[in-house]
Each structure stands twice: as structure tokens, then as C-alpha cells.
Chains A and B, each alone.
Chain A
Amino acid sequence: MMNRREFCKKTMIVAGGLIIPLSALEVFNPRRLYAEKNDKGKVRWVFLVDVHKCVGCGFCVKACKIENDVTWDANVTRTWVERYVITRDGQTLIDSPKGARDGFTSQKIDQAHAGLKDVKPEDIAKGFFVPKLCNHCDNPPCVQVCPVGATYQTQDGVVLVDRTWCIGCGYCVMGCPYGVRYFHPQLHVAEKCTLCYHRLSQGMKTACVDACPFGARRVGNIRDPEDPVTKIITTEQVNVLKEEFGTKPQVFYLGSSMEVK
């Protein structure tokens, strides 16, 4: 007959003996733990833009427009490239003619109603190009404001629009602080960057990433610690746009400047 002391002792030995080999098999990788902290899925798409590498050729915009059947001549685009010219007297001039669909081929900066502005090369302190696209935020305000559930976020973090379900109220177009949404000129529904969901789900990269000859645009999975894009985001100085809005944007910028908003 086993007494209580014996029983407790043996139970602890057996339970401890079972636990030790299980925990010994688990090797803790702090970066994997960090990547998987708040998550259930294995994929979370993120985008990385290297401002230093962009030359403003606009091949990304052209490829996006063709790949996603974005109306070519209407003044709408899912992604665009902005030119920033900062003059020596502190002025910041920004333009993006046709969303840089045909690139930047002129030194004249389009200032809308103020006309084309020609800045003398000796007056330019710095000039650079910034590609922009949907930030596929972790807290997407455009999704939150949709009254019918036509726009939503997938488990892998891509914000999409259900074209058959959108009623065209335009709340999301207003709600996006980055101005990436617009109305489809023919379908009259809200439109936005899908992060080429059809390509990503086949293991391809987005059309803009494939079109960029300079590697200025990259797409990656932040949940995979071995992904080169994740390595850059976790180890180098990256920036996001309008962090103060609390949207947790997932497009990261390398080499961005304070003039970029």
C-alpha cells in the first residue's frame, strides 16, 4: 500500500520526467518568438521601399497599371512616385505628374495651378524620389469606416475591396490618411492596391517589385525571420509614413527624409 508521501513523490518524478524531454526539444529563437508574438497565421506581408535606390523611372507605376487593369489615362493610380526637390532657401517642391506613369523626364516641377516651376540646379539642396502605395496598415482606418463590410483585411495583412459588395459611399476614400484609395472610373467602386494578391498567393512578387530595375521596392513576410526584407526591417533604420495616426503602416522606408509625409 502506497502512502500519500510516496504517491506525491512518484507523481512528481513521472510528471517531471515527461516534461523535461519535451522542453529540451524546443530551442528558443528570440527573433522567431518576436515575429510570432501577436499572431496566429504564418504570413504577414510587408513592403520595403529604399528611397536611395529609386531613380523615378516609373516602371513600377506602368507595370501596376497594366497588371491590375487600372485605367491608363484617367488620373488615378494604385501606386505612384513622388519627386521631392528641396531648394537651398528651404522650399520643398513635390510633384508626381500622372503618378509618374511615364517617369520624370523634365527638370520642371509641376506645381498645379502655380504652373511648372524650373529650379536652377545650383539652387537645389537635395532631390530624390519616393514611391508610394497602400500601407496595408495593421489598424486600417479605411476598413474600420466601411459601413457594409466591403473592404476588409485578410489574415496575411492585405487590405482588399469586395467589388460586388461596395456601395460606393466613399468613406474609405476619405478615411485613408495616405490618399491611396480612389473610385474606379468605370466600376464606380472603391479601388486600392491589392499588393498583387493574385501574384503573392502564387509565390510571385508584386508587379511593381518585379518591374523595378533597381531593387527600390521589395515585398516580404515579416513573420519569417529569415526573409531578407524582415532582416532589413528588424536591423536597419527604417521609417513609416504618418506614424502619429496610429494606423501601424506596414510599408517601411529606408533612407526617407523629414520632408516626406
Chain B
Amino acid sequence: MKNHVWRPLFIVLAIVAGILITRTLLVPDDFGIGERGYMYGWHRKSNEAEWKKYPVKYKTATVCIECHKDKYDDIKDSPHGSISCENCHGPNYDHPKDPLGLNIDRSRGLCIRCHAYLPYRDSARAKIPGIDPVKHYPQAECIMCHYPHDPTKSNPKHRNPEVKS
């Protein structure tokens, strides 16, 4: 057959070979169909391990108790006992190595996450004592009167669940 027929075919073959070579160079070896099959499983297998290696920052109260048993005993039977230490004290990271001390959130904004009164009678929010943050001693920090580890130990003069908007 004549040369002008073969020439374009060679070019096409070269292009296909080029694409295939580039593909083998670019696509990682462990890329393939995972356990979830053709539709949902295509991925680079080693990425699963990469996500598993992501550092854990919130180590939970089980780690806090190891050193701060006294604080745990202080809070465990109080109405605040269900709140994780790290919610207020900040994530553990690698404490006490890094950081040495935790950055405790003592702000009003933290307390009013739950204790700002909202008029939703059937929601669980209604069962929590609520205040109007604008009217209830706006100049003060909550912890000046209330003891955060055990709110029942606070000064009764300053604790008034009836204050509503």
C-alpha cells in the first residue's frame, strides 16, 4: 500500500503510545478499583493511610484524668459533668509536652452557647437555665459569680434561672 496511507496511521499509533506512556508515568501504582467497586471505589489506596495518619487533637477526658483526677472528681457529679474537658480548656494536642499549658476559654461567649435563653419550649434548650446575655450582668464574666466545674456551688444571690428577656 502507498506511503500516504500508512503515515497517518503511524502518527495515530504514536499518539496512543504517548498517551499510554504518560498515563503509566502519572498514575500511581496503587491506583485502582477499591473494595466499593467500579462505581464508587476508584482511588489511590495509600490515601486511606494518609487520612488515618491525620493528627488527633482532641484526646478526650480519658487522657485528662491521668493527671487531673482532682478536677475530674470536682466536675463529674455536677450538672456540667457531661461537658468534655476540652470543650472549655481547648484541645489537648500533645499536652503537657506541646503545649505546656492549655488556653482556657473563660469567656461569656462560651457559657451563653447553652445558657442564652431561647424561647423554644419543646427543645432540650428549654431544660437548661437560661439568661438574656444583654440584660444579665453584661459587664461581667460569668465565672466571676458562677463556678464552672459545679454551677450548684455558685453564690445563690447571683444565680437566677428566672431572668428572661
Contact = CB atoms under 8 A, between A and B. Distances in A.
Interface in B108-165: 109, 112-114, 116, 118-125, 128, 133, 165
Interface in A35-72: 40-41, 52-59, 62-63, 66-68
B52 A197 contact: yes
B36 interface: yes
Nearest to B87: A59
Interface stretch (B10-18, B37-45, B66-74, B94-102): B37-45
Interface string B76-89: 00000011101100
Contacts of A40: 35
Contacts of A139: 40
Interface in B52-77: 52-58, 60
A183 interface: no
A143 B86 CA distance: 34
A202 interface: yes
A102 B109 contact: yes
Interface in B1-47: 31, 34-36, 39-44, 47
A153 B128 CA distance: 40
B114 A55 contact: yes
A239 interface: no
Contact of B91 (A54, A67, A103): A67
Given A103-B112, A199-B56, A213 B83 contact: yes
Given A63-B87, A207-B58, A198 B40 contact: no
A63 B40 CA distance: 29
Contacts of A144: 39-40
Interface in A186-222: 194, 197-199, 201-202, 204, 207, 210-211, 213-216
Interface string A119-131: 0010010111100
A156 B157 CA distance: 54
A128 B60 contact: no
A41 B35 CA distance: 9
Nearest to A128: B123
Interface stretch (A18-26, A104-112, A224-232): A104-112
A153 B47 contact: no
Nearest to A207: B58
Contacts of B109: 102, 105
A198 B41 contact: no
Contacts of B124: 52-55, 214, 216
Nearest to A142: B40
A143 B33 CA distance: 13
Nearest to B54: A198
Contacts of B34: 152-155
Nearest to A62: B87
Given A155-B36, A162-B44, A197 B87 contact: no
A197 B54 contact: yes
Contacts of A76: none
Contacts of A63: 58, 86-87, 91
A104 to B, nearest CB: 6
B82 A214 contact: yes
A103 B43 contact: no
A103 B47 CA distance: 34
Interface string A141-181: 00110100111111100001010110000000000000000
Given A85-B120, A210-B84, A213-B84, A55 B125 contact: yes
Interface of A: 40-41, 52-59, 62-63, 66-68, 85, 102-107, 121, 124, 126-129, 139-140, 143-144, 146, 149-155, 160, 162, 164-165, 194, 197-199, 201-202, 204, 207, 210-211, 213-216
Given A128-B123, A152-B47, A211-B86, 8 more contacts: A52-B123, A55-B123, A102-B113, A105-B133, A154-B36, A160-B48, A213-B82, A214-B124
* Top 3 A-B residue pairs of the complex, sorted by shortest distance between their CB atoms: A127-B120, A103-B113, A149-B42
